[in-house]
Amino acid sequence: MNQSELDNLRHSSAHLLAAAVMEIWPNTKRTIGPAIENGFYYDFQFSQPISEKDFSRIDQKMRELLKKWEGFERKEVTEKEAKELFKDNPYKLELIEEISQKGEALTLYTSGNYIDLCRGGHVENPKEMLRHFKLLSIAGAYWRGNEKNTMLTRIYGTSFPTKEELEKHLWMLEEAKKRDHKKIGKELELFLISDDIGAGLPIFTPKGTTLRTLVSDYLTHKKQENGYQFVWTPHIAKSQIYHTSGHWGKYDAMFSPMKLDDEEYVLKPMNCPHHFQVYLYRPRSYKDLPYRIAENGTVYRYEKSGEVSGLLRVRALTIDDTHTFVRISQTAEELEKVLTMIKEILKTFGFDNYKARISISDPANPSKYLGSREAWEKAEKTLQEKAEQLFGNVIVGVGEAAFYGPKIDVMVQDSLGREWQLSTVQLDYNQPQNFHMVYTNEEGKEEYPAILHIAMIGSLERLLGILIEHYAGAFPVWLSPIQVAILPISDKHREHAQKVLKIFQEAGIRAELNDDKKTLGAKIRHSTLQKVPYMVIIGDKEIEGAGSKVSVRTREGKDLGQMGTNDFVVKLKEHIENFS
């Protein structure tokens, strides 16, 4: 079943859900019920509160109704007929008004005794095809996503063509709950969200900061190896710069402006205009290009309170921002270099399955974009050719480009098969003209460069959230905040344990000594729950004879036996050097 057929299946399931709800609670007001990624939902205004405890009742009614659903009967009606049918439902009346104003047909679809206003997209044989569904959760949702509108009750569900596919998906959802980065982040003491600081503003603990620094340092080193120079820019700027860039009025995630010295400033929502100032600092020649600058720079975006989520969607995000200024003739070569780097970086973080998606402009709506149609077509062609060369077949999203340039997004699959968007490469012919960023060519004439806006991994916060779930907190040795736990069996082994700790620390190994007055079993359990890759146990046998010895155990419970401390250090360093 292709994606379009799957969407029809799930949209049909949303109809079935609404039909059951209306049978049980006839006074309910229906709104909309689309197919979404991995499922569907329907929004309702109930006359009394409901909860997930009601799901078994709704499920039973859905299965009862389904036995009589032979198909979906389409009927085109007039505006007057539609309004008469839904005269007591202000949400449907609003939709009918909008559809009529657009001059589109008003259509009703009937299954069994259930009738709904709908554009279509259903299965042919609902009685057979809609059997494999599951109601999942309830959430609040504003009508049309607007906080000023009524809060509705949203019921989420999922459906699949076969029982096996449904069961596999439900297993993945349960596994995802276990891997929830908010839950694991708290258990491993990696980050916290404080109500006193605010939603979407994560604070990293010492262990979380170690993890964050490891990621940041790796990206910095990798970029420096490839010719990028790092800069630092402030967190605010005059609002005028975003008028120049064109973001003002087109980008709706800015925090409110503030007044400083009678001038208007804003928290920066992106690093680009700041980086442009570095390019403009002095005259540029063709000999300077490609000119590559980078910054792990924190930006601030106003996300709605209902949309922020742990580390995956925040209001303060640190982007591994990279801007490369190139001659037009250098674009293809530089794109290949960047995409190759991205593949290497994703592999280092443990992502082996990925694909590229290209977001291009909508030719039917040229007013949405800066620059000429010719420049857009040229940029889009270059991106697509290089993406196909490095990633094979690519997905093309028409109308999904940002207002100043087309882009490539790299989507990765985690260990559960879930897809995440990480890397982004945007090709921009427009901002150089907005800021009059030029260089002198071989003939002494001014030319505009192109700019590649690059985020190799997106934001550090989001990547860390994804990594926590990808590894379920059991990070590879190189990424683990604590790489070794040292566990003396009793007080008499403590002195040797401290010597072992010093050996690890001098070798650059992140080790932790657990000298609590607890049993060895309790210490092993604690280190295992903290997902520490290795535990070294020190007892009588380890302090006998010459040289430093340890007994090594893995977090998976495997006993590696006794070995020299320095030999174990060599083993750990091999892991770290190989990013394993």
For the chain, the domains span 3-178, 184-471, 477-577
Both structure tokens of 371 = 């620059």
CA distance 45 to 74: 26
Structure confidence by residue, pLDDT tens digits, 523-563: 999 999 999 999 999 999 998 876 789 999 999 999 999 99
Q: Which pLDDT value is given to residue 457?
A: 96
CA distance 243 to 240: 5
CATH topology of domain 184-471: BirA Bifunctional Protein; domain 2 (3.30.930)
Taking CA atoms, 264 is separated from 243, 249, 316, 531, 566, in Å, by 12, 15, 21, 48, 59
Question: At which residue do the structure tokens 């929502």 appear?
Answer: 269
CATH topology of domain 3-178: Threonyl-tRNA Synthetase; Chain A, domain 2 (3.30.980)
Ramachandran area for residue 219 (φ above 0: left; ψ -120 to 50: alpha; else beta): alpha
DSSP-derived 3-state class of residue 96: helix
Of 485, 519, 479, 525, nearest to 501 (Cα)?
Answer: 485
8 A C-beta contact, residue 212 and residue 204: yes
**Number of C-alpha atoms within 13 angstroms, CB side, residue 151?**
5
Q: Which residues of the chain have pLDDT under 70?
A: 250, 546
Structure confidence by residue, pLDDT tens digits, 509-525: 999 999 999 999 999 99
Q: Which pLDDT value is given to residue 478?
A: 97
First to last CA, the chain: 38
Of 272, 284, 276, nearest to 454 (Cα)?
Answer: 272
Q: Which pLDDT value is given to residue 72?
A: 94
CA distance 397 to 421: 14
CA distance 283 to 408: 30
Q: Which pLDDT value is given to residue 378?
A: 84
Structure confidence by residue, pLDDT tens digits, 141-150: 999 988 889 9
Q: Which pLDDT value is given to residue 12?
A: 96
Residue 138 sits at φ, ψ, to 5 deg, of: -125, 140
> Which CATH architecture is the domain 477-577 placed in?
3-Layer(aba) Sandwich (3.40)
